[in-house]
Structure 1
Amino acid sequence: MKNIAFDRVKFAFDIERFFICMSQPLPFDLTSDTNPTNAMSLHDFSIVETTLREGEQFCKARFSSSDKVEIAKALDSFGVEYIELTSPRVSIYSRKDCHQIAELGLKSKVLTHIRCNLEDAKVAVDTGVDGINIVIGTSDLLRYFSHGKSIEEIIEIASKVLGFIRQANPRIELRFSTEDSFRSSLSDLLRVYLEIDRLGLVDRFGIADTVGIATPSQVFELVKILRQTTQKDIEFHGHNDTGCAIANSYTALEAGATHINTTVLGIGERNGITPLEGLVARLYVLNPEAIERKYALGSLGSICKLVADKVGVEIPFDRCIVGSASFSHKAGIHTKAVLKNSRTYEIIAPEDFGLERTMLIDHPLTGKYAISHRCHQLGLNLSPDKLVVATQKIKDLAYTRQISLEGIDRILVEFSQS
């Protein structure tokens, strides 16, 4: 089995040899470190939100039809460009769900995800969805243990399936993706993409880090090569087995990808994929105004709670933006600075997401600025000397036992009245 390895010299040699064998001119300069790519644009990228497909594969997920409609409407209100649904070939219920959600009249385009299989395609085109995402494994492992097809057979089957769909519905949006792209031979990948590209049938190509093995640099290199090889849009699907999903998705955009797969809370097979809230956080920091115009950020927290409730999990405390600790400040040096200017320790403004920051004072690390802030909230006026003494009393108590906010408030009231 050959994995993609991005040693630049070997990589250049392999690619050059591949194009010679294919009797095609090189589409880019292999020796350049500054090859022009379609730079990431916060206005041009799209989110393919797949909570209702990939997310349905999460170990605790069991969405009813009404759940799916509720989640689809919430995602549509948030503003995602695409909503992907489970293949209608999975069951009669999945088929009915595709029909129902396709008929909701959402602003988001509704997609379904199928195998590269003619029977799957026949069912999918009959659901009324706006687009069909097709996938087939290209790694040695998947070709041997999953579908048993050679690269030649993959190209042949894909040509038939894509041709059938395009003839059945000339206006439908088509994506063709390899699966397990980062454990596939680079020459196999390029051969498949180039042959499919020649057909002129697809709108978008997909790259999938199916097992979360890729590093950001590997993602950048592969997306960059595909970007320079085709004019079609590029979609990235990244699993989070090694914790790189958000970084890999962001890097894919930097390299020229146009579409990123996400799920709410990152739910999916095993450790899931790029979380919607994580990708939004990463892109918000780059350009808050653009992301605010693009998505209804104030509804992100309610969407995450909705999905968490449906699958029976708590939102992790450290989840970007929506986690309970996201905007909590504890150490005295932090709270002092944040109270003066929140940007000192916050790169994301909670108010842009309809959230509030929390100044924690019920602990031994608290400081007089945080205590003074609490006095202000309570309408109390403590002298500087009393404030120092009150702060020390709270710190001393917190060292010996758990102290509640109500207990702290009583102490502050007592000091104000003494």
Structure 2
Amino acid sequence: MVYIYDSVLRDGAQSEGISYTVDDKLKIAMKLDEFGVSYIEAGNPGSNPKDAEFFKRIKNVKFKNSKIVAFGSTRRPKINVEDDANIQALLDSGVSTICIFGKSWDLHVSDVLRTSLEENLNMIYDTVKFLTSKGFEVFFDAEHFFDGYKANSDYALKTLKTAYDAGAGFAVLCDTNGGSFPDEVYEIVKSAKKFIDIPLGIHAHNDSELAVANSIAAVKAGASMVQGCMNGIGERIGNANLCSIIPALQIKLHYKCIPEENLKLLTEVSKFISEIINVQHDSRLPYVGESAFAHKGGMHIDAVLKNSKTYEHIDPELVGNDRKILMSEVSGKSTILSKIMEIEPTLTKDSPETAMIIEEIKKLEYNGYKFEGAEASFYLLVKKFLGKFKKHFDIKYFKVIDQIPWENETSATAMVKISVDGIEELTSAEGNGPVNALDKALRKALELFYPVLKSVSLTDYKVRVLNSNGATGASVRVIIESTDKNMNWSTMGVSTNIIQASWDALIDSIEYKLNKIEDE
């Protein structure tokens, strides 16, 4: 058994650009509990009013799988532990488990705490002993343990022994600067394991992009707790990514980390956290990213469709992810056919429509289209070739008037005239730029006829210059990502006019939604 200890609410909050509300933290904590992690480190109740409020509110929430952990430091030098305000805040937190961090590198003791090595040991002992005597389960995070061990192994190990003698349930070895290598971590954890009979944990930072590897090495050396953060967020480069560690340990090394039936929730949990912290979910995350099981090369695709083990290290369904077959000029006929068959199952590899669509894709991609990033536009293209596309509205005209952006909150006004079944509607809207104004005006008109579009919103907008040597006359590719909360889709437009390219992508986005409704 390897205990999973998630610190996304505390260490993750130290990521640049991330700031939780109390409600955000509660939602994430409940999601992690549903997923089945053993411990959720929620913050330091004595550090700020937000964390204090969280611990106050969490007392009324019942958890099925996880224990909430309060985090804090050892007592300050040369004061009684009972007189330390931060220790008192831990006592009042309402949790049953507390994680205390203390210095294990003599450099930090002398240069940061500016106290003696002996006093630092007293601080560790007094704090852990005091909290365990009050009935708390206490973990000791040995901060900078690996650097400390390399500088003065006797003293670093002595900090672990001190925490053990005081009653700590786990000693967690921290690679706080993130500079250690897996072979070093393995050997040092082995040495610590031989030195003291206390369960060991690992807390790795990713400054050398080795946090996952170091965490797995520590487990192989005998550690039975892994601390980290979902999606690998955290201070500086980030913490060990639990979204990679959990499946690596559970699927490949056969350690139990979470309930077996919950592993398929991993991708959902990863995306949920990205949504809460308001960042784009990283498509290149191992196991849980949209590109983790994406295939583009024709030979790769042909092989994976015959036997997925040829180019996939695990079945994506095990972690709740999906295989993704990308469409491009290098994908091959079988790839395009598999995507076409999702729309029209009766077509075969030798159908004339298949050859026509493949030829059209090659032509369009030569001119700058990129269907692997805009599969909704591919869907519409196929529908049109098969004569199954239904046009839901006609554009009579549109017009954009730019304003001076620094004089008003809005910088553009758009007018759009549409026709639906012979009924015309003229609307206008202001927006933050011409594309935003066009989007608002178009939706304002269409929602009168198709109220379902009220649930659709844009989530991302990307522009790529295709031939920079064309200077201001260069072609651009615009990709728009949309959602209706139930599904996400991407559409594309290409033109030398960025407004036209954006407009084409907007039209495709709305037509995709309306045509999908027709398919249901």
> Quick one: distance in 2 between partners of 1:54 and 1:223?
23
Q: 5 Å matches for 1:300-339?
A: 300-339=266-305
Query: Once structures 1 and 2 are overlaid, which stretch shifts more, 348-357 or 199-208?
Result: 348-357
Structure 1 residue 288: deviation in Å? 7.3
Aligned residues: 367
Inter-CA distance 295–218: structure 2 relative to 1 (3 Å threshold): farther
* Amino acid in structure 2 at the alignment position of 1:176: F
> Quick one: distance in 2 between partners of 1:392 and 1:291?
49
Give the aligned partner of residue 329 of structure 2: 364
Inter-CA distance 391–231: structure 2 relative to 1 (3 Å threshold): same
Give the aligned partner of residue 238 of structure 1: 204
Structure 1 residue 175: deviation in Å? 1.1
* Secondary structure, counterpart of 2:309 in structure 1: helix
Normalised by the size of structure 1, how large is the TM-score?
A: 0.81
Cα pair 1:281 1:348 within 8 Å, conserved: no
* Amino acid in structure 1 at the alignment position of 2:308: S
Query: Once structures 1 and 2 are overlaid, which stretch shifts more, 377-386 or 182-191?
Result: 377-386
1:177 aligned residue (125, 141, 145): 141
Unaligned stretches of 5+ in structure 1? 1-43
* Secondary structure, counterpart of 2:4 in structure 1: strand
Structure 1 residue 380: deviation in Å? 3.3
> Quick one: distance in 2 between partners of 1:317 and 1:383?
31
Unaligned stretches of 5+ in structure 2? 76-80, 372-376, 388-520
Q: Does 1:276 align with 2:249?
A: no
Structure 1 residue 129: deviation in Å? 0.9
Inter-CA distance 407–67: structure 2 relative to 1 (3 Å threshold): closer
Cα pair 1:79 1:295 within 8 Å, conserved: no
> Quick one: distance in 1 between partners of 2:227 and 2:109?
24
Structure 1 residue 341: deviation in Å? 1.4
Q: Does 1:249 align with 2:215?
A: yes
Give the aligned partner of residue 398 of structure 1: 365
Give the aligned partner of residue 89 of structure 2: 123
> Quick one: distance in 1 between partners of 2:116 and 2:162?
14
Structure 1 residue 366: deviation in Å? 1.3
Give the aligned partner of residue 60 of structure 1: 17
Cα pair 1:98 1:127 within 8 Å, conserved: yes
Structure 1 residue 407: deviation in Å? 6.1
1:205 aligned residue (154, 168, 171): 171
Give the aligned partner of residue 376 of structure 1: 341
Cα pair 2:247 2:319 within 8 Å, conserved: no
- Per chain length, whose mean CA-contact separation is higher, i.e. which structure has more relative contact order (CA < 8 Å, sep 6+)? 1
Residues 213-252 of structure 1, C-alpha deviation per residue, up to 9 Å, x if partnerless?
1100111011111112222111111000110011011111
Inter-CA distance 92–148: structure 2 relative to 1 (3 Å threshold): same
* Secondary structure, counterpart of 1:296 in structure 2: helix
Q: CA-atom RMSD, angstroms?
A: 2.4
Residues 34-70 of structure 1, C-alpha deviation per residue, up to 9 Å, x if partnerless?
xxxxxxxxxx101011111111211222212111111
Structure 1 residue 86: deviation in Å? 1.2
Residues 262-321 of structure 1, C-alpha deviation per residue, up to 9 Å, x if partnerless?
212111111110112111232244057956744623332332233223333111221122
* Secondary structure, counterpart of 1:112 in structure 2: strand
* Amino acid in structure 2 at the alignment position of 1:106: F
Residues 161-213 of structure 1, C-alpha deviation per residue, up to 9 Å, x if partnerless?
122112222xx21111221112212121112222333x251111011010101
* Amino acid in structure 1 at the alignment position of 2:132: R
Cα pair 2:337 2:349 within 8 Å, conserved: no
Cα pair 1:102 1:110 within 8 Å, conserved: no
* Amino acid in structure 2 at the alignment position of 1:192: T
Greater percentage in helix: 1
Q: Does 1:79 align with 2:36?
A: yes
Structure 1 residue 408: deviation in Å? 5.1
> Quick one: distance in 2 between partners of 1:257 and 1:155?
23
Cα pair 1:332 1:370 within 8 Å, conserved: yes
> Quick one: distance in 1 between partners of 2:171 and 2:255?
29
Give the aligned partner of residue 34 of structure 1: none
1:214 aligned residue (180, 190, 200): 180
1:138 aligned residue (81, 99, 104): 104
> Quick one: distance in 1 between partners of 2:20 and 2:263?
24
Q: 5 Å matches for 1:41-60?
A: 44-60=1-17
Structure 1 residue 109: deviation in Å? 1.0
> Quick one: distance in 1 between partners of 2:177 and 2:255?
34
Q: 5 Å matches for 1:332-347?
A: 332-347=298-313
Give the aligned partner of residue 413 of structure 1: 386
> Quick one: distance in 2 between partners of 1:341 and 1:288?
24
Normalised by the size of structure 2, how large is the TM-score?
A: 0.66
> Quick one: distance in 2 between partners of 1:408 and 1:93?
51
Structure 1 residue 344: deviation in Å? 1.4
Give the aligned partner of residue 113 of structure 1: 71
Greater percentage in strand: 2
Cα pair 2:141 2:174 within 8 Å, conserved: yes
Give the aligned partner of residue 410 of structure 2: none
Inter-CA distance 190–46: structure 2 relative to 1 (3 Å threshold): same
* Amino acid in structure 1 at the alignment position of 2:335: A
2:317 aligned residue (351, 364, 378): 351
Cα pair 2:2 2:257 within 8 Å, conserved: no
Cα pair 2:44 2:72 within 8 Å, conserved: yes
* Secondary structure, counterpart of 1:384 in structure 2: coil
* Secondary structure, counterpart of 2:265 in structure 1: helix
Larger radius of gyration: 2
Inter-CA distance 91–401: structure 2 relative to 1 (3 Å threshold): closer
* Secondary structure, counterpart of 1:300 in structure 2: helix
> Aligned residues: percent identity?
27
* Secondary structure, counterpart of 2:47 in structure 1: coil
